[in-house]
Amino acid sequence: MLSYKDTYKVRRTCRFKQKREVYLPDMAQQDNAGFSFEVQKICPETGARAGILTTPHSVIETPVFMPVGTQSTVKTMSQQELEEIDARIILGNTYHLYLRPGAELIREAGGIHEFMGWKGSVLTDSGGYQVFSLNDLRKITREGVWFRSHIDGSKHLFSPESVIKTEHDIGADIIMAFDECIPYPATVEYTERSCKLTEEWAARCRDTHEKLDDGSCVLFAICQGSVYPELREKYAQRLVDMDFWGYAIGGLAVGEPKKDMFDMVGANARMLPEHKPRYLMGVGFPDDIVEAVSRGVDMFDCVMPTRNARNGTVFTYDGKLVLKNAHTARDFGPIDPGCQCPSCRNYTRAYIRHLFQAGEILGPRLATMHSIYFYLEIMREMRKAIMEDRYPQWRNDFLRRYRKEE
């Protein structure tokens, strides 16, 4: 058994090597500490990647979908249910957790995993998206962003330094740099100024992280650049030069045309180092995710499955299904006959529709369970197809059926 100091050294090493082989696999098995990322296979036709991302809390097979647990709970689900369907990493929102219950309290509880009773990994976003999307009153300076709480109107400053400190207090496995998330559309001039600011903030985030670093988390930078490929490429390169542990593609799915979104994903992805994880933030519908995997993205999060489920709409291999529609009233089959999720194994469309009609909490619960399972399942299928050299066929089959093109 290695001492804590030894494991710490190895972990620091692997922050830069990021190859499982280099990282001493025996060691990882011994104490489950440390981080690693390994690309296992790349689809030669599309560039889709299968990999293994290891954190001290779980071994995550990529491509991976991370259910969104904004306020330290994936809405309607229990942590046991997430385990049951083999979710291995979830997302928490720094903005929300900072305001309520407060990062101090979470630290006092022993960190986010202890606080919420979750054994898997956690990634926290930086609050960049929220301070821009949830606040009408905000002031951006080089120092950071002043904003008002959506809960009580109180004034707060998020700076690169304060956000990284907050994320360390929360104690996620993967933390995100603080960025400016600009709206769509934005002029090329505004976008470039903003990219410079995000770059400057990324450097300050890295410096703060290095000061606080105790080996418990790794830092991802976020690439911005609106729909301008040259800005996407230029600033991605600058962030790559700063050598972050992983990279996110941000500022997309904010209203731009789908074609632009995928072009930007492509522009960013081709600048990013092959041996580091790539995370497309806030995307998206199942077919969007498949398209992005086809462009070399490894990690995803989105409120789509959970938010839609609470409104009675679920995702299936045959596209969206509106459970509240009258046609399901006497439909005594499951949401999806081919699905093995706990909802489909035990409940009918008619029953779930009744629960929604009656305003019963079990309705959103069963719908959420199904859609999260579906998202996780298509990620597992994609991974398997990549590993077995049949990803392009899987993608075509999936998209044709999902988009009802046959």
Q: Pick the closest to residue 125 from 88, 102, 96 (CA basis).
A: 96
Q: At its nearest, how many Å lie between its own copies and the CB of residue 87? A: 15
The answer to whether 360 and 310 have CB atoms below 8 angstroms apart is no
Q: At its nearest, how many Å lie between its own copies and the CB of residue 309? A: 11
Count the neighbouring beta carbons within 10 Å of the beta carbon of residue 153.
8
For its own copies, the closer CB: 59 or 109: 109
Q: At its nearest, how many Å lie between its own copies and the CB of residue 368? A: 9
For its own copies, the closer CB: 14 or 116: 116
Q: At its nearest, how many Å lie between its own copies and the CB of residue 103? A: 13
For its own copies, the closer CB: 198 or 306: 306
Q: Pick the closest to residue 87 from 129, 130, 39, 119 (CA basis).
A: 119
For its own copies, the closer CB: 100 or 139: 100
For its own copies, the closer CB: 365 or 383: 365
For its own copies, the closer CB: 215 or 342: 342
For its own copies, the closer CB: 118 or 247: 118
Report, as residue numbers or ranges, the catalytic residues. Answer: 125, 301
For its own copies, the closer CB: 276 or 354: 354
| Chain residues that interact with its own copies, rule: CB under 8 A | 71-73, 75-80, 96, 100-101, 105, 108-110, 115-117, 329-330, 332, 342, 346-348, 350-351, 354-355, 357-358, 360-362, 364-366
The answer to whether 347 and 334 have CB atoms below 8 angstroms apart is yes
Q: At its nearest, how many Å lie between its own copies and the CB of residue 364? A: 7
CA quadruple 311, 314, 318, 319: dihedral, nearest 10: 50
- Measured CA to CA, the distance from residue 122 to residue 282 in angstroms comes to 16
Q: At its nearest, how many Å lie between its own copies and the CB of residue 322? A: 17
Q: At its nearest, how many Å lie between its own copies and the CB of residue 283? A: 24
Q: At its nearest, how many Å lie between its own copies and the CB of residue 101? A: 4
